[in-house]
Amino acid sequence: NAGVMQNPRHLVRRRGQEARLRCSPMKGHSHVYWYRQLPEEGLKFMVYLQKENIIDESGMPKERFSAEFPKEGPSILRIQQVVRGDSAAYFCASSPPWVSEAFFGQGTRLTVV
């Protein structure tokens, strides 16, 4: 059973471009969380999704950011018109329902130049 897979591991975008970050949860996991981490800082919650549903997006900026977790395929975090402040590590975690442990991917390091 492969772990949580995130790709790409590193992504460089110019200001104004779009960034698409992918997360394939572990097999059998229906819950996906996205977190953003700035250097020397903690994990800031962005969004919590279950298959085809956004459960909690209270940590997501209202503009330019969106997330989905379709019935088939990976979860996608999409950032439109990126700015330098979007540069961070973005981590995805997954878990099955009613389980205390969340499994993290290796993260995507986004650099906006």
Partner 1 sequence: GQSLEQPSEVTAVEGAIVQINCTYQTSGFYGLSWYQQHDGGAPTFLSYNGLDGLEETGRFSSFLSRSDSYGYLLLQELQMKDSASYFCAVHYSGGGADGLTFGKGTHLIIQP
32: exposed, middle or buried (Cβ count in 10 Å: 0-12, 13-18, 19+): buried
Residue of the chain from 66, 87, 106, 111 that contacts partner 1 (CB under 8 A): 106
φ, ψ of residue 84 to 5 degrees: the values are -60, -35
| Amino acid type, 48 | Y
Q: Per CB under 8 A, does 69 bind partner 1?
A: no
Please pick, from the candidates 51, 57, 76, 104, the single residue that binds partner 1 as defined by CB under 8 A. Answer: 104
Binding residues (CB under 8 A) for partner 1: these are: 31, 33, 35, 41-45, 48, 50, 55-56, 91, 93, 95, 97, 100-107
